[in-house]
Amino acid sequence: MPSSPLSFRTERLLLRRFTPDDAEPLVALHGDPDVMRFIDTGRPVPRTDVLRRTLPEFLTGPGHHPEDPLTGIGVWAAEAPATDAFIGWFALRPTTPGRPDEAELGYRLHRAAWGQGYATEGARALVDHAFTRPDRPGVQRVMATTMTVNHRSRRVMEKTGLRFIRTFFEEWPDYIEGAEHGDVEYAITREEWAAAR
């Protein structure tokens, strides 16, 4: 499982912290309309926003340094070592700043990586990573949200072991097709995870 707090491997993936060299792959990922269809505004993110806001957040966010008390939290670039290809990213972020007891799971993959089980593999690895850190056992619950109509993402959450919690409705500044059906929350606690192993 984890080889260090800052990077680790799964069967088919290398999950590592972001570097400035990831700028162009990240721009391409966030600029893909199909990738962004159910996220934020539902539209591609402009290049300048990725370079000025997203990448710096990934480079300096919680858990980026070994001495950080939130080392088990953060954003990991995902590579397929067989091809050295950047295929996307996975994240565990505190749902409340400074509180490591609950983390939100997130993931975003290039279309070429869809349908190959990478999302589930990476998501499971992060959940395991969150719950198996003996030095920092702060995470007690991992949750994730998506649009109700985002069936692919919901299947990943279910395969990862998260269970459906609720459907909820929020006001968004931009309408995304399917927003009238609301969003869903899935979650798993440390106890549920341990019982399923």
Quick: pLDDT tens for 10-40.
999 999 999 999 999 999 999 999 999 999 8
Rounded-to-integer distance, Cα 108 and Cα 116, Å: 14
Rounded-to-integer distance, Cα 136 and Cα 8, Å: 17
38: which 2 tokens? 């159910």
pTM of the model as a whole: 0.89
- Where is average pLDDT lowest: 92-101, 122-131, 156-165? 92-101
97: which 2 tokens? 């700043």
- How high is the pLDDT of residue 7? 83
CATH, range 7-196: 3.40.630.30
Q: What interhelical angle do 151-160 and 118-131 show, nearest 10?
A: 40
135: how many CB neighbours lie within 10 A of its CB? 8
Give the model confidence (pLDDT) of 102-152 as tens digits: 999 999 999 999 999 999 999 999 999 889 876 555 789 999 999 999 999
Parallel/antiparallel/unpaired status of strands 99-109 and 141-147: parallel
CA-only gyration radius of the chain, Å:
16
